[in-house]
């Protein structure tokens, strides 16, 4: 606006002013829908990232437990080798078999404890693997829900440009599908 009250603006400015005064109900609805979809999509994206991080952490824990189990099985094998040597020593001439017999029994007892520990660690590894797979499944649900919400936002932009009422209802339909996928992810289905 100039000092003398004379004001010139372009057609775009006029349309913006008209929409701001509430004269364009179609655009207002699409704008609100787009804002809601963007917010929901952002939440879905965040939750998808969180479940992906959980899956990676669970997989890492599985690898750690698997390594610990492998270490226990190596320890078990070392005790077996010592037991075998003690059993061999019992048969050698000029040795005291009773001395080696107690060592053989000790190694058998120690191996049993080691075996149980290794099996527990393997079971823990499998449990962490299962949790990782479940978390990745939920992550994929969140990712799909996010993608569908993004498609709804893109359709909203097309609806706004074309001003097609049927496309507006298409936006709502796609958005509902995205929300349903988000509910499935939330319920871990």
Place of tokens 């809601």: 36
Tokens of 142: 């969140």
Please report the pLDDT score of residue 12 as a whole number: 45
State the Cα–Cα distance between residues 82 and 153, nearest whole angstrom.
69
Question: Which of 69, 58, 19, 26 is CA-nearest to residue 139?
Answer: 58
For every one of its 189 residues, what pLDDT tens digit does the chain have, with 9 covering 90 and above?
456 666 666 554 555 455 556 567 888 899 999 999 999 999 999 999 999 999 999 999 999 999 999 999 999 999 999 999 999 998 888 888 888 898 999 999 999 999 999 999 999 999 999 999 999 999 999 999 999 999 999 999 999 999 999 999 999 999 999 999 999 999 988
Question: Would you say residue 17 lies in a domain?
Answer: no
Question: Would you say residue 155 lies in a domain?
Answer: yes
Tell me how far CA of residue 164 lies from CA of 28, 30, 65, 167, in angstroms: 14, 11, 58, 5
Question: Would you say residue 8 lies in a domain?
Answer: no
Question: Would you say residue 20 lies in a domain?
Answer: no
pTM: 0.73
Domain span at 101: 26-186
State residue 182 phi and psi, 5-degree precision. Answer: -65, -40
Question: Which of 71, 89, 83 is CA-nearest to residue 111?
Answer: 83
Please report the pLDDT score of residue 36 as a whole number: 94
Please report the pLDDT score of residue 94 as a whole number: 85
The number of domains in the chain is 1
State the Cα–Cα distance between residues 42 and 146, nearest whole angstrom.
8
State the Cα–Cα distance between residues 113 and 121, nearest whole angstrom.
12
Question: Would you say residue 7 lies in a domain?
Answer: no
State the Cα–Cα distance between residues 112 and 122, nearest whole angstrom.
15
Please report the pLDDT score of residue 16 as a whole number: 47
State the Cα–Cα distance between residues 80 and 73, nearest whole angstrom.
10
Question: Would you say residue 82 lies in a domain?
Answer: yes
Tell me how far CA of residue 136 lies from CA of 55, 67, 101, 184, in angstroms: 6, 22, 52, 14
Question: Would you say residue 13 lies in a domain?
Answer: no
State the Cα–Cα distance between residues 120 and 64, nearest whole angstrom.
13
Question: Would you say residue 32 lies in a domain?
Answer: yes
Place of tokens 């078999």: 97
């Amino acid at each position: 606006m100039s000092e003398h009250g004379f004001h010139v603006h372009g057609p775009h400015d006029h349309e913006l002013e008209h929409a701001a005064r509430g004269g364009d109900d179609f655009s207002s609805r699409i704008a609100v829908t787009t804002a809601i979809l963007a917010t929901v999509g952002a939440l879905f994206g965040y939750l998808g990232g969180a479940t992906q991080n959980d899956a990676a952490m669970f997989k890492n824990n599985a690898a750690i437990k698997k390594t610990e189990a492998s270490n226990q099985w190596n320890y078990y094998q070392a005790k077996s080798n010592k037991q075998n040597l003690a059993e061999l020593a019992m048969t050698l001439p000029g040795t005291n078999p009773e001395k080696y017999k107690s060592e053989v029994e000790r190694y058998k007892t120690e191996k049993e404890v080691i075996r149980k520990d290794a099996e527990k660690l393997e079971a823990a590894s499998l449990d962490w693997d299962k949790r990782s797979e479940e978390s990745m499944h939920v992550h994929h649900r969140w990712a799909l829900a996010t993608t569908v919400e993004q498609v709804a936002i893109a359709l909203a932009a097309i609806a706004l440009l074309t001003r097609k009422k049927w496309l507006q209802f298409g936006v709502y339909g796609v958005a509902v599908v995205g929300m349903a996928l988000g509910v499935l992810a939330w319920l871990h289905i």
